[in-house]
Amino acid sequence: EDQVTQSPEALRLQEGESSSLNCSYTVSGLRGLFWYRQDPGKGPEFLFTLYSAGEEKEKERLKATLTKKESFLHITAPKPEDSATYLCAVKTGANNLFFGTGTRLTVIP
């Protein structure tokens, strides 16, 4: 059975304190791993797609990496506006997105 597990469930960081969020997956036939940001009461906002182990993508203070079993979302020198829930999703042979439950990030000024 396909599984996506995100950790930690919640993370509190001081502004400027870098850290990483983890997404581990067990799926048959990975066709892509996606990171989304979701603000309270809003729909998920697309951040990155990763397709193969070793791939990396960057956007501002965020960097996503992928191995054969997990993905990391690295946040460098976060700011309060980076506070959100970060969702990881995988696309499998069924061509549907299967989401993890997310990491709720709070960045304290």
* Residues engaged in binding another protein (CB under 8 A): 4, 31-32, 34, 36, 41-46, 49, 87, 91, 95-102
Task: Considering the complex, state which of residue 43 and residue 54 has its C-beta at the smaller distance from another protein.
Answer: 43
State in angstroms the smallest separation of the CB of 46 from another protein: 5
Task: Considering the complex, state which of residue 17 and residue 39 has its C-beta at the smaller distance from another protein.
Answer: 39
Distance spanning both ends of the chain, measured CA to CA: 41
Task: Give the residue among 41, 48, 37, 50 at the shortest CA–CA distance from 102.
Answer: 37
The C-alpha atoms of residue 35 and residue 97 are separated, in whole angstroms, by 11
Task: Considering the complex, state which of residue 63 and residue 76 has its C-beta at the smaller distance from another protein.
Answer: 63
Residues in the chain: 109
